[in-house]
Amino acid sequence: MRLVSDPVFGEVDLTASAEELADLAEAVAEGDRFIRSTSSEDSAPLAGVAVEKASRPGVRIDLDASRQTLVISGDPDARAILADNLRAMATAKDGGHLHVDYFPEHPYLLEGSVPIVVNSPHGAFRADERSGRQDPASGMTPLPYFRS
């Protein structure tokens, strides 16, 4: 798993294999776990992801500058939704990416959370080879449904 903090856009870019994303999803669901990232040539690599349990409702995503770590904390129900979204990215064969980004009345993400972009281990969007469905205007496969 590779984690890069992008100071220009103020977000964290997460790239991982399907197995690493599934492992991260399990860690998010369970809470209280640290997953180390792989080294990177990028300008601002992070050491890993710390997942923590919290009693307050919602998920908060922060950068811990002293540990160079992405910190995901939250209650079990909110963490379960994020974990489901991560599992969906790990298994989605269409490719693409998932933005985990706060907006007013977000169903689980708390205001002030650092946005993350989770890249599919299957690459960029492409036509769905199973059904052939494709958006004629963009030539892209529609986004999969992510529970929120």
User: Are 94 and 141 in contact, with CB atoms under 8 Å apart?
Assistant: yes
- DSSP-assigned letter for residue 39: P
Question: How far apart are the C-alpha atoms of 1 and 67, rounded to whole Å?
Answer: 17
pLDDT at residue number 21 = 94
For 24-28, the CB contacts below 8 A with 24+ separation are: 24/49, 24/86, 25/83, 25/84, 25/86, 25/87, 25/90, 26/83, 27/51, 28/72, 28/79, 28/82, 28/83, 28/86
Retrieve residue 98's tokens: 């998932």
Over its length of 148 residues, how does the chain's per-residue pLDDT go in tens digits? 999 988 888 899 999 999 999 999 999 999 999 999 986 665 568 999 999 999 999 999 999 989 999 999 999 999 999 999 999 999 888 778 889 999 999 999 999 999 999 998 876 554 443 333 333 333 333 444 344 4
